[in-house]
Amino acid sequence: MQKTIERIAGDSDGTAYEFPVFRFDGTDKAAPSAYLQAALHAGELPGVVAIDALMPMLAKAEAEKRIRGAITIVPWANPIGRSQYHFGEHQGRFHLGTRVNFNRGFPLLAAPDARLLPDTSLGGADQRLKTRLVQLSLGRDIVLDLHCDDEGLPYLYIHTSLWPHMADCAAAMGIDAVVLWSEDTDGTFEGASIMPYQNVPASVARFERRAVTTVEYRGMLDVNGAYAASDAAGLYRLLVTRGVVQDSSIPKFEKFAGPVVPLENIDMMPSPKAGAILYDVKPGDRVAKGDRLATIVHAPGEAGGRTEVFAPQSGFILTRRSRRIIRAGEDLLKLAGDKRSGDARSGTLED
Ligand SMILES: [Zn+2]
C-alpha cells in the first residue's frame, strides 16, 4: 500500500488543504478495480470509521497477495468541509464560501475520458477538489461514495442502468434498502461516476461489472465500533464478490432480499408549520395510508397549536430528521412508498 498526500491550494495565499490517498496495486490487470471515498459531506463519519476498520483487512489481503484489482481509498474526501466551523458548529455539507453543496456541481462528462475534465487549476478550491476527486476515481469499475443520512436505515442510491446488476453488491454489503434513480441535473459525485457511461458502447459501459453507489450508512450519530466493523465487513464482502480481492472464505452473494424503491416513490413530507416535531414513526417502521407520522407543535399551549401529518400512502420509513426543530416547508422524513409519490421529485431529493 502506498500513501500519497493530495494538496488543494486555498483561495487566498497562505491557505491549502490536504488529504491522504491510499493505493493498493492489483496483481491482475484484468481484475475489476475499485475506488472508495468517505466524508464528502465532511461531518458524515460512519464511512470514515468503516474505512479505518477495512484497512487492516486489505493490508492482510495484500500481504497474502490476494488483492487482484487496484484499489484507491480516500478516507477523508473533503478537507475544506472538514475545516469549516461556524459559531462552534461543524458545517460539512455546504461550502461556506459559495453556499454550494459539496456533493453537487461535479462535472458530468459525456464519456469516461479524463481529458474531458476541467483543468484542475481552474475554479475555486471546492471546484478544484471536485475535479480532482473525479480524476482519482474515473475509470474504476467500482466507485463507492460513503455518506450517511440524518437518522436512517443503511441504504444505497443506484442508477437504474446498474440494476439488477448490483443486487450482489447490495446483498454483500448487508444494507436494508436500495433507492433507484435515473436523472442527475445537479452533478452529484455518483452522477459524475455513472453518467459518463450512459451513451458509450456496451463494451465500454460494461454495466454488468460496474458498481457505482452513494452509500447512506444510517444516521449522523451512528458512529461506533460495532457499525464500523460490520460496515467494513460489508465493504470487504463486496470487494470479494466482485473479484477485486480474493478470499475463498467469503460466500458468493447474488440476490438482494430487501426493498428496491424507485426515487419517485419517496414522499419527503414537507412540514406544514414551523415548530417542534413529535415523531410517531422511526426508520424501519412500516406505515399504512392515513397513519399519523408526526405532530408539529407550532403554538404550544394554544387551542389549535398542533398540526398532525399523515401518511399519504403505505410504505416504510427510510429516514427522518435528527433535529426536532423545523421550518415550514422543510422535509420531515423519507417515506419509501409502495407507489409513486404525489409529490415525486426528480433529480436529487434534498438541497
Ligand atoms: Zn452526504
So where are the chain's domains? 2-258, 264-337
β-partners of residue 326 are 275
Residue 151 DSSP SS3: strand
CA distance 123 to 129: 10
Dist. CA 302 → ligand 1 center (Å) = 38
User: Could you tell me the sign of the dihedral formed by the alpha carbons of 251, 255, 257, 260, in that order?
Assistant: positive
Contacts of 64 (CB under 8 A, 6+ apart): none
Residue 169 DSSP SS3: helix
- Residue 342, Cβ neighbours under 10 Å: how many? 9
Dist. CA 113 → ligand 1 center (Å) = 26
CA distance 169 to 198: 20
Q: Which long-range contacts (CB under 8 A, 24 or more apart) does 295-300 make?
A: 296/271, 296/272, 296/326, 298/273, 298/274, 299/275, 300/276
Dist. CA 297 → ligand 1 center (Å) = 29
Dist. CA 30 → ligand 1 center (Å) = 32
Cα of first residue to Cα of last residue in the chain, in angstroms, is 37
Dist. CA 41 → ligand 1 center (Å) = 5
Dist. CA 101 → ligand 1 center (Å) = 9
Dist. CA 147 → ligand 1 center (Å) = 4
Residue 193 DSSP SS3: helix
Dist. CA 315 → ligand 1 center (Å) = 23
Joined grid coordinates for residue 177: 434498502
14 in Cβ contact with 65 (< 8 Å) = no
Q: What local confidence, expressed as pLDDT, does residue 120 receive? A: 85
Specify the residue for cell string 459539496: 102
Dist. CA 305 → ligand 1 center (Å) = 34
Joined grid coordinates for residue 183: 436523472
Dist. CA 246 → ligand 1 center (Å) = 30
Dist. CA 205 → ligand 1 center (Å) = 26
How is domain 2-258 classified at the CATH fold level? Answer: Aminopeptidase (3.40.630)
* AA letter at 102: F
Dist. CA 39 → ligand 1 center (Å) = 7
Q: Model's pTM, two decimal places?
A: 0.97
Angle between helices 225-241 and 46-63 (to 10 degrees): 50
Q: What local confidence, expressed as pLDDT, does residue 39 receive? A: 98
Dist. CA 57 → ligand 1 center (Å) = 25
Dist. CA 93 → ligand 1 center (Å) = 7
Dist. CA 119 → ligand 1 center (Å) = 26
**Closest C-alpha among 325, 321, 346 to residue 149:** 321
CA distance 92 to 81: 5
Dist. CA 220 → ligand 1 center (Å) = 9
Dist. CA 43 → ligand 1 center (Å) = 8
DSSP secondary structure letter of residue 309: E
pLDDT tens sequence for the chain (351 residues): 999 999 999 999 999 999 999 999 999 999 999 999 999 999 999 999 999 999 999 999 999 999 999 999 999 999 999 999 999 999 999 999 999 999 999 999 999 999 999 998 889 999 999 999 999 999 999 999 999 999 999 999 999 999 999 999 999 999 999 999 999 999 999 999 999 999 999 999 999 999 999 999 999 999 999 999 999 999 999 999 999 999 999 998 989 999 999 999 999 999 999 999 999 999 999 999 999 999 999 999 999 999 999 999 999 999 999 999 999 999 999 999 999 999 988 788 888
**Closest C-alpha among 68, 16, 258 to residue 154:** 258
Dist. CA 268 → ligand 1 center (Å) = 16
Domains 2-258 and 264-337 share a fold: no
How is domain 264-337 classified at the CATH fold level? Answer: OB fold (Dihydrolipoamide Acetyltransferase, E2P) (2.40.50)
Residue 239 DSSP SS3: helix
Q: What local confidence, expressed as pLDDT, does residue 173 receive? A: 98
Dist. CA 262 → ligand 1 center (Å) = 19
